[in-house]
Amino acid sequence: MPNSAGKRFKPTKYIPVSTAAALLVGSTTLFFVFTCPWLTKAISPAVPLYNGIVFLFVLANFSMATFMDPCVFPRANEDEDKDDDFRAPLYKNVEIKGIQVRMKWCATCHFYRPPRCSHCSVCDNCVEDFDHHCPWVNNCIGRRNYRYFFLFLLSLSTHMVGVFSFGLLFVLHHLEKLSALHTTVTLVVMCVAGLFFIPVVGLTGFHMVLVARGRTTNEQVTGKFRGGVNPFTRGCCGNVKYVLCSPLAPRYMVDPRKKPLVTLQPPFLRPDLSDRQLTIKVSDNGFHGNVLQTKSKSSLDGLDDKGLEVQPPLPPKAERYNQLKSQLTSSEESSLSSKPVHPSTPAMYKYRPTFGTIPKVHYHAAGEKSLAPDDCKTSAILEEGGRGHDYRSEPNLDLPDYRNAPLHRTFQSSPLQLDSFATNTRSLSLKQGHRQLAERPRLGGMNTETVTSTPYKSVFSPGTLSNRNGSLSYDSLLNPSVSPTVGECAVHPGVPSMGFHSPYLPTKMCHMRGAELHRQPPPSYSPVRVGGGLGRHSPHPRDPSPVRYDNLSKTIMASIQERKELEEKEKLMHMHSHPQAQMAYAADSGVFDACGDSLATSGVIGYGVRTPILRSSASSLARAPRTSSSSLHSDVTGGGSVQGRAADPPYRSPAHQAHHSPATTPRSPSYSHHKVSFISALERSDSPRMGSLREDVAHGKFNGQPKGHLGTSSSSPGTPLSPNRSTSVKKVSGVGGTTYEISV
Amino acid sequence: MRSAPRTAARRTTLPFYHQSFHNLQELRHNASLSNKVFVQRDYTEGTVCKFQTKFPSELDSRIERTLFEDTVKTLNNYYAEAEKIGGQSYLEGCLACATAYLIFLCMETRYEKVLKKISHYIQEQNEKIYAPRGLLITDPIERGMRVIEISIYEDRGSSGSSSGSSSTTCSSGR
């Protein structure tokens, strides 16, 4: 038994057990010596026999309860808790039969206590199925010895009843000789039995109720299931069976000499790397695991190619959605080689080359923001976003069957595919950054295409897009009718053309955008801004909003709306010089990527804006991922809020600042920038590149910068330079290796 | 045999000997422990002993997913069999009661029998599947049945992260 070193011998703790033992043995001995002989003669020899058996039973159970290991957990190895440092949450939630149970971190034993486990301060051990520490047996009552303790109580009660009644019988027959030795002794024994009868029988009855209910004393006393459901109950009969008939649990102390010897020698076999798959896990509070398997870069390449080449964009989207669905269900064998299915958000990923991580970032940010209220989801998204790698199997409570894990549960309202994809986009983007660069020219070529809004509408049906992670298109922000939090637009990261956008917009958005599109003659309006190298005219300073906001909170949406309005105003300022631009602005006001994907002319601004944000928040953001990674399955209710805490500040500041200006002032860019920076902080490798964009950004208009910058932007919304300065297109490498084409 | 320590340049020319080390300590001369993966318990069905079959990401490049899941599922089955409340466990309890639990001094309980089976199974899995891949499974009983600890070893002769080298390093004790 792992005891703390230097334990002193405390005689006081042995007093109750000594007293109990002495009383039990002594009284019974006296009973047998003084009372039983007469009883044998007067009634029958069966009386002492019966009493002897019961007493033997009492002793056996008493000994087992006293000396048996109650199922003590050995202290955890150092390796096991190396990641549970000071940032690890105190509690972890685990779901047992549909009921959330909290597991507490034991600082002494260095692990998260399993359900029903508790640390006994007297024994200084964590005990499995901890019932209580009984001073009368000087031992913890736990999983292994609870049955013996219960039987001890039962048998002791029976024994006391027997002793008392037979002693009474004796006394009644010897009333005339009360002062005789035998009678006196019998009276004394009767008094002892009668004295302890009430507490013992009371305790026995109490434990009989506990057994019937399937609770431990600890749970009953602390009132854990007072108003709720006990997830550990098996029904009354099942509970009784479990207590009395279950096999004896093993001890957890293993003889080290018995360790098997295994030879390990390199070289080691490795699985076939060609089948290696990127494992993307979406965890719900760390214990819902949904592993998405995606092919390596090659498959994503194919995905990108197909997506970029598809005209109209709608069909691929729907196709991808279905493919993603099937992919999720067969995650094990998922191979995206030939399918244009993108494990991540189909729309977002497809357009990542143009706007890179922006949509992805938003995705995360939105996802995080939206998940914050949900204790189950936040950690999931944060973990994904916080770590640049797959989920580590740290001590956590992931669900075993991730494949069937109901991702639906994890995410509120979105089809599970997109959610998981969203979270995976970040990790995926890291890997596809290069290819995105290669994809860019193609995107430019597509920009010339002008797609009407009609195809958009046809593509999207309400069900095709995941609401939550599907991200909310910027358009929806402008339309109150479209709830931002359940935006169904897929984020189009900086899709230059409206045509590109359309497939990923929800039906309603499509309608809206369609209306906008119809307002202007398609030929004159060149929605394709990104890839402005194709001669995009400066009149269209902004691209259709490729960025989608995923389930942003109302605060964020409000700020985004404000920003949009501000941008619209700014556009109007340049209307005189750019009539077309005005129309374009009006057309894609909803499409504007507030996330700073304003990679079009205004996008440059966003970029520059993002840089400082990135730097300023890099530290805090960098911490957030680690926090989330360290507390993989941290319970949001418990310490999981650490993740939220780290993540919230960056978001809150712009949001708060966004509120400075009236609602009409669009502030979303700053917020989105902030969110972008949050995610981009995870990919800090690209931050230097962002810094290089500073000069370009200087020209752009700043629509709200986080913290310090915000005031400037708010005070002079019109100060930012005209987004359309020249028709030159600047290629900027962004976060995550994505390349942005900004028409400067 | 060369008396000097084998250099990296010479390793490739050496014959590939299989030096059998029967001690985990000696293993470290060739392979060093690089990481440990912990497979946690699955509590969705209560406190029954069951481990998660989720494939840890760290093992992604070390072992096939199916092998790992088979191992965990087999272990789960073993534990379910050990903890099954049925006729045998009831009889065992009655017998123990009748003999004032003295029977435990002579007889092995059912759980202990299954634990032995599990131990043999893990040993066999280690020898056949995991050790050739540089992994070692630790019996969960040693960790209080809370986790399955899988130790990941790297070939010390290689650069730590390479996927196995064809050379064997000599014992550093030489």
Output the CA angle A232-A236-A239, nearest 5 degrees: 50
| Helix segments in chain B, DSSP class H | 8-11, 24-30, 65-82, 87-98, 103-106, 110-125
Helix A181-213 / helix A15-30 crossing angle, nearest 10 deg: 130
How many angstroms separate the CA atoms of A618 and A384, rounded? 17
CB of A603 closer than 8 Å to CB of A593: yes
Q: Which of A300, A290, A342 is nearest to A321 (CA)?
A: A342
A390 vs B: CB within 8 A: yes
Q: Find the residue in B nearest to A254 (Cα).
A: B142
b/e per residue, A300-324, with b = 16+ CB within 10 A?
A: bbbbbbbbbebebbbebbbbbbebb
pLDDT confidence of residue A227? 79
Profile chain A (744 residues) by mean pLDDT over runs of 10 residues: 59 89 92 90 90 93 91 83 68 87 88 90 90 91 92 94 92 86 90 92 94 90 83 90 89 68 72 57 48 43 43 46 46 43 44 43 39 40 40 42 42 41 42 44 43 42 42 45 42 42 45 46 42 42 49 64 78 64 43 41 41 42 39 38 40 41 42 42 43 42 41 40 51 59 61
- CA dihedral (A320, A324, A326, A331) positive or negative: positive
pLDDT of residue B59: 84
**H-assigned helices in A314-470:** 314-329, 346-350, 352-355, 357-371, 378-386, 407-410, 416-447, 453-459
CA distance A587 to A581: 9
> Which of A599, A492, A504, A497 shows the shortest CA–CA distance to A547?
A492
Mutate to test the interface with A, among B35, B48, B54, B130 (most CBs of A within 10 A): B54
CA–CA dist A585, A600 (Å, integer): 12
CB pair distance less than 8 Å for A265 and B168: yes
Tally of CA atoms within 13 A in the half-sphere of A362 that contains its CB: 46
Residue A543: φ, ψ to 5°: -85, 160
Question: Which candidate in A113, A128, A242, A269 is best for mutational testing of the B interface (most B CBs within 10 A)?
Answer: A269
Chain A to chain B, count of Cβ pairs less than 8 Å apart? 222
Interchain contact, A263 vs B57, CB within 8 Å: no
Q: Do B24 and A397 touch (CB under 8 A)?
A: no
Give the C-alpha separation, A668 to A655, whole Å.
Answer: 8
Output the CA–CA distances (angstroms, integers) from residue A325 to A403, A504, A551, in the order listed. 12, 17, 21
CA A445 → CA A487, A495, A496, A539, A540, distances in Å?
Answer: 29, 12, 10, 19, 17
CA B168 and chain centroid, separation: 23
> Which residues, other chains included, contact A144 with Cβ-Cβ below 8 Å and sequence gap of 6+?
A68, A69, A70, A71, A248, A249, A251
By C-alpha distance, the chain B residue nearest A268 is B133
Nearest CA to A417 out of A320, A560, A487, A547 is that of A320
- Per residue in A210-243, pLDDT (tens digit) is 999 898 999 899 888 887 788 888 889 999 999 9
Cβ distance of A400 and B133 shorter than 8 Å: no
- Chain A residues within 8 A of B93 when measuring between CB atoms: 147, 244-245
Contact A101 B101 (CB under 8 A): no
Q: Which of A377-381, B64-68, B78-82 has the lowest average pLDDT?
A: A377-381
Question: Which tokens hold the place of A317?
Answer: 């989207």
According to the model, what pLDDT value does residue A556 have? 67
In chain B, count H helices and then E strands.
6, 3
Which amino acid belongs to residue A323? Q
Nearest neighbour of A268 by CB, restricted to B22, B51, B164: B164
CB A338 within 8 A of CB A303: no
Alpha-carbon distance of A329 to A311, in angstroms, equals 28
Q: CB of A192 within 8 A of CB of A29?
A: no
Using an 8 Å CB-CB cutoff, list chain A residues near B145.
252
Q: By C-alpha distance, which of A440, A466, A469, A615 is closest to A552?
A: A469
Q: Which residue of B has its CA nearest to A242?
A: B85
Instruction: Tell me how far apart the alpha carbons of residues B91 and B93 are, in angstroms, rounded to a whole number.
Output: 5
Query: What span, in angstroms and rounded, lies between the C-alpha atoms of A693 and A704?
Result: 17
Q: Is A134 a catalytic residue?
A: yes
Q: What is the pLDDT of residue A314?
A: 46
Residue A634: CB partners within 8 Å, gap ≥ 6? A88, A89, A92, A285, A286, A379, A628, A640, A642, A643
- The answer to whether residues A606 and A669 touch, using CB atoms and an 8 Å cutoff, is yes
B132, A269: Cβ pair inside 8 Å?
yes
pTM of the full structure = 0.51
Contacts with B, A 283-322, CB within 8 Å: 289, 291
Q: Nearest CA to CA, how far is B120 from chain A (Å)?
A: 9
What does the alpha-carbon distance between residue A256 and residue A253 come to, in Å, rounded to a whole number?
9
The position carrying tokens 């590109």 is: A500
DSSP 8-state symbol, A505: S
Q: d(Cα A472, Cα A367) in Å, to the nearest integer?
A: 11
**Distance of CA A23 to CAs A16, A205, A455, Å?**
10, 21, 90
Confirm whether the ipTM is greater than 0.90: no
Query: Active-site residue among A109, A117, A123, A134?
Result: A134
Q: Which of B38, B51, B109 sits opposite A247 (nearest CB)?
A: B109
Closest CA to A675 of A697, A650, A696, A653: A650
Residues 6+ positions from B16 with CB-CB distance below 8 Å? B166, B167, B168
Q: Under 8 Å CB-to-CB from A13, ≥6 apart: which residues?
A: A122, A135, A138
pLDDT per residue as tens digits for the range A338-372:
444 444 444 444 444 444 444 444 433 333 344 33
Residue A66, token pair as written in the block: 């006293």
Say yes or no: A678 contacts chain B, CB-CB below 8 A: no
Percentage of the residues of chain A whose pLDDT score is greater than 90: 15
Which residues have C-beta within 8 Å of that of residue A291, sequence separation ≥ 6?
Answer: A279, A280, A281, A282, A331, A402, A403, B54, B55
Provide φ and ψ at A519, rounded to 5°: -65, -30
pLDDT recorded at residue A380: 39
Instruction: State the distance between the two ends of chain B, measured CA to CA, in whole angstroms.
Output: 13
Q: What's the rounded Cα separation, in Å, for the pair A514 and A479?
A: 14
